[in-house]
Amino acid sequence: MPTSLELLELAAEASQRAYAPYSKYQVGACILTESGEIFSGANIENISYGATICAERTAIAVMRTAGNHRIRTIAVHTPDQGWPCGICLQTIAEFVIDADSTKIVVPSLNGFIERSLRELAPHLWSSDLVKKK
Ligand code: THU
């Protein structure tokens, strides 16, 4: 099983493949699934800025398209050690078993910092009125 630092290295590699001609801010994400598979993604911008896809959601699209849908850990590399945005946290939540055991990892000066999805997003949108099919 890869370590958090190894996942961060893969996220940093993925960030090199970002398409970020507008912000020049390259982000990479690397997912470790519950079954031990790894999927990476980078941010993909668009001249119509709102069409931009964050690195985390690109990685999730790759994961889901490969037939996997359970995130255990997601490592995120940004130029300034940022955490995933709110839309990405909500999207991560769609593909986890539970928010307490799902880990989000970002680099720090001493290595890395790890937080649960629940810690970063304690009030995720979830309603029994909206049913999954
Ligand atoms: N971005 C991500 O890839 N992930 C996030 O969680 C937040 C922001 C991207 C979007 C845009 O291409 C660039 O970072 C600058 O906001």
pLDDT tens-digit map of 78-133? 999 999 999 999 999 999 999 999 999 999 999 999 999 999 999 999 877 787 66
39: β partners? 31
Query: Could you tell which of 46, 58, 85 is best to mutate to test the pocket of ligand 1, judged by most ligand atoms within 8 Å of the CB?
Result: 85
SS3 of residue 98 by DSSP: coil
Active site (annotated) includes residue 94: no
Q: What share of the chain is helix, strand, coil (3-state, %, to 5)?
A: 30, 25, 45
Give yes or no for residue 90 CB within 6 A of ligand 1.
Answer: no
CA angle 21, 23, 29 (to 5 degrees): 90
pLDDT (mean) for 39-54: 98
Full-prediction pTM beyond 0.85?
yes
Report the pLDDT value the prediction gives residue 128, as an integer from 0 to 100.
72
- CATH numbers and ranges of domains, the chain: 4-120 (3.40.140.10)
Residue type, 12: A
